[in-house]
Structure 1
Amino acid sequence: MTEETTHLLPEWAPHAALWVGWPRLAQEWGGNLTGPRAEIASFIKAASEYVPVRVAAGSDEAAASAADTLQGAGEIVRIPTGDIWLRDTGPIVTGSGAGRTAQAFRFNGWGGKYLMPGDTETAGAVAAHEGLPAIKHDLVLEGGGIDADGAGRLLTTRQCLLNPNRNPDLDQDAIEAAIRSALGVSDFIWLGDGLLNDHTDGHVDNIARFIAPGHALCQHTSGDDDPNAEVLTEIETSLRRAGLAVSTIPSPGLIRDEDGNPVPASHMNFTITNGAVLVPVYEDHYSLVALAELQALFEGRKVIGLPARHILNGGGSFHCMTREIPA
């Protein structure tokens, strides 16, 4: 395998396609798919103006509802899926052009918490549809648990990647070696914990992202009741200690679920694609500020804020439910 085929490109590199999951398991959404399907449809319609969108439908009913709702906005692809979280169940594609390879890591339901039929088959099915060779890896790794800058640097968290519910027989050195070999990265930047009540065990795509080589973005505290105040401060401090250029945007602040519990809402869970950045929004004031600041950071791309409160009820947001295919 050449260095070119193992090189993990940054998300802002050109995309040939963007995969998006379509919800089908009502029990994972409080018994009601109407809200999440409407928000995901809005995302797909917006994204399809910039990139070919492929909608992963895990059942005949899901495929039919997606086709009826989207009215041609995306290509409906009937493949095995458990739920919509393709960032974690789909392949991580390295290289570009003829050198692209689908890296299919082992998926264990976020440490055994959510095991859904079809999820372990999604990576291979996406690779087959794209006509990409696939390499299977024994390492448990979710795409939302890492973020790369295309220049060898990789962001991750100890809470997730070193969690004994993922790879209990591997220490940090062994995990780094496996990822280095598969993805062609060289420098690991380890953060600590993720957001409160994040069932992914602290996925980094909810707290810190690269926006250019050596340039990371994270959130600062919003409001006196922000449940992640200490965590957000520690994240920014760790990124600066790592020698990165660091920009910040406001967090959504305290967002509660129906029972009054804080939920892991984040403006960081945006999707970057050709010419656009699609950002989940939850609260008017902080979200408006975040969108304006993101537009200044993403020169040459249109920053689009879209509601994502119903999607968050399922446990994630835009970045979690998407997987780009490099051009």
Structure 2
Amino acid sequence: MPSMKHFTPADPTPRELGFAMPPEWAPHEATWMGYPADDELWFGHLAGVRDEYVGLVKTIARFERVELLVRDEESERDARARLSGHNVRFHRVPLDDSWLRDSGPLFVVRGDKEKEVALVNWRFNAWGGKFEWENDDRIPEYVAEVLGMAHWDRPEVLEGGGLEIAGGGAALTTRSCFLTDTRNPGLTEEGYTFLLSDMLGVKKLLWLDGGLENDHTDGHIDTITRFAAEDVIVTSVEPDPADPNHAVMSRNLDMLREMRTPDGQPYQIVELPLPANRLEGAEGRLPPTYANFYIGNGFVVVPQYGDPNDKKALDVLRPLFPGREVIGVPSRKIIEGGGSFHCLTQQQPAGRAWRGE
């Protein structure tokens, strides 16, 4: 295994060494994912979830390599049987769950032509201790070892789905998630601004108030509002005043219209419908959303729910991603677990693994 360096909070930060987290649309080396394995966590829907999950993996693998974590012999056997011949590499790793956006590492890059890539290993505690997390908290360390990649080990809890990176220094998050006392008690908005500047190169952190009803992540930004370009934001809207999501989404929309880029310019705000039909799961209302799309090398994959707004969402998103194929893939069973495609994926930017030399 190639040697690599662990950085601690006492060492120079990524920003001090010229690293920053790139936007999702920057070129990828691969996508990291974790194969669904626990029928109880999926409320008895594991078979259907795996069918949809394999459809997602095959779609991504058409465009870039998928690094797939499998937690046991049964999972690996099932995944290999379904994905043989596709651009997928398998890794046997103890897993609690499949949400690599939150449990996986966040990658940072530096350089122009010859990019170097490192990663940040944040703590993961299953959205404030809601589920088991000890195995998933070790995923970034495993990824770093496989890649021989230098990395920073941080004591703070931070989930990738709670932070949306634009490139150019801007990022979006929600107060309902970041400011909970079950993640980083005492860490203020100002504290997050300094932390994310040091660790991810964020120059301007933009705050919305909250997310979707009954979202167990406490309102991750990637379920409601996303950057489509440095100056373009797509955000979920709910037209029905009787729906609990209406007031929160309307308030977010008003706030976004007042926000400015790091250069002081207004954003182009694009409204994205939420699914028309209310979906109920084992624990109440589900949080289906089209904003949980995933951007990769030449594609954008968008969750579909068998809903009247499925096609409308694709029609809204296609003009925002010229040069990329915008693809709708079923996620009706996957949403039973509380998330969708962006939650299940973590991009590894293209470039050479930096070992801290």
Superposition TM-score tier, normalisation by shorter sequence: over 0.9
- Say which SS state the counterpart of residue 283 (structure 1) adopts: coil
Q: Give the C-alpha shift of residue 72 in structure 1.
A: 2.9
Change in 2 beyond 3 A, CA 1:46/1:127? same
Q: In the alignment, which residue of structure 2 is the partner of 1:287?
A: 310
Does structure 2 retain, via aligned residues, the 8 Å contact 1:194–1:203? yes
Q: Which amino acid aligns with 2:133?
A: M
TM alignment of 1:167-182, pairs within 5 A: 167-182=184-199
- What do residues 153-178 of structure 1 show as CA deviations (whole Å, max 9, x unaligned)? 01000000011111113222222211
Q: Give the C-alpha shift of residue 258 in structure 1.
A: 4.3
- What do residues 149-202 of structure 1 show as CA deviations (whole Å, max 9, x unaligned)? 111001000000011111113222222211211001110100001100000000
Partner of residue 258 from structure 2, selected from 241, 251, 259: 241
Q: In the alignment, which residue of structure 1 is the partner of 2:41?
A: 28
Change in 2 beyond 3 A, CA 1:129/1:162? same
Change in 2 beyond 3 A, CA 1:5/1:27? farther
Does structure 1 retain, via aligned residues, the 8 Å contact 2:31–2:346? yes
- Say which SS state the counterpart of residue 123 (structure 1) adopts: helix
- Say which SS state the counterpart of residue 271 (structure 2) adopts: strand
Does structure 1 retain, via aligned residues, the 8 Å contact 2:276–2:307? no
Larger Rg: 2
Does structure 2 retain, via aligned residues, the 8 Å contact 1:18–1:325? yes
- Say which SS state the counterpart of residue 120 (structure 1) adopts: helix
Change in 2 beyond 3 A, CA 1:225/1:70? farther
Instruction: Find out whether 1:70 has 2:83 as its counterpart.
Output: yes
Q: Which amino acid aligns with 2:340?
A: S
Q: Distance in 2 between matches of 1:268 and 1:277?
A: 11
Does structure 2 retain, via aligned residues, the 8 Å contact 1:226–1:253? no
Q: In the alignment, which residue of structure 2 is the partner of 1:195?
A: 212
Change in 2 beyond 3 A, CA 1:222/1:126? farther
Stretch moving more, 1-10 or 125-134: 1-10
- What do residues 299-318 of structure 1 show as CA deviations (whole Å, max 9, x unaligned)? 11000001101111112100
Structure 1 alignment gaps of length 5 or more: none
Q: Which amino acid aligns with 2:310?
A: S
Q: In the alignment, which residue of structure 1 is the partner of 2:297?
A: 274
Q: In the alignment, which residue of structure 2 is the partner of 1:314?
A: 337
Q: Give the C-alpha shift of residue 261 in structure 1.
A: 3.4
Partner of residue 229 from structure 1, selected from 226, 231, 246: 246
Q: Distance in 2 between matches of 1:224 and 1:291?
A: 24
Change in 2 beyond 3 A, CA 1:287/1:223? farther
Partner of residue 151 from structure 1, selected from 158, 162, 168: 168
From the two aligned structures, give the one with the greater helix fraction.
1
Q: In the alignment, which residue of structure 1 is the partner of 2:135?
A: 118
- What do residues 98-141 of structure 1 show as CA deviations (whole Å, max 9, x unaligned)? 52111010111100111234111111112222222121111110
Q: Distance in 2 between matches of 1:258 and 1:165?
A: 25
Partner of residue 95 from structure 1, selected from 109, 125, 136: 109
Partner of residue 208 from structure 1, selected from 219, 225, 229: 225
Does structure 1 retain, via aligned residues, the 8 Å contact 2:101–2:346? yes
Q: Give the C-alpha shift of residue 32 in structure 1.
A: 3.8
Q: Distance in 2 between matches of 1:130 and 1:222?
A: 46
Q: Give the C-alpha shift of residue 58 in structure 1.
A: 1.7
- Say which SS state the counterpart of residue 228 (structure 1) adopts: helix
For these two proteins, the number of residue pairs brought into alignment is 327
Does structure 2 retain, via aligned residues, the 8 Å contact 1:145–1:160? yes
- Say which SS state the counterpart of residue 309 (structure 2) adopts: helix
- Say which SS state the counterpart of residue 93 (structure 1) adopts: strand
Instruction: Find out whether 1:133 has 2:133 as its counterpart.
Output: no
User: Which TM-score applies when normalising by structure 2?
Assistant: 0.87
Structure 2 alignment gaps of length 5 or more: 1-11, 261-266, 351-357
Q: Give the C-alpha shift of residue 6 in structure 1.
A: 2.5
User: Which TM-score applies when normalising by structure 1?
Assistant: 0.95
- What do residues 63-104 of structure 1 show as CA deviations (whole Å, max 9, x unaligned)? 111111112322111123211100000000000555211101
Does structure 1 retain, via aligned residues, the 8 Å contact 2:119–2:144? yes
Q: Give the C-alpha shift of residue 225 in structure 1.
A: 5.8
- What do residues 185-243 of structure 1 show as CA deviations (whole Å, max 9, x unaligned)? 11010000110000000000001011111221112225566441112111111111113
Could you tell me the percent identity over the aligned residues? 37
Q: Which amino acid aligns with 1:282?
A: Y
Stretch moving more, 119-128 or 301-310: 119-128
Partner of residue 17 from structure 1, selected from 3, 19, 30: 30
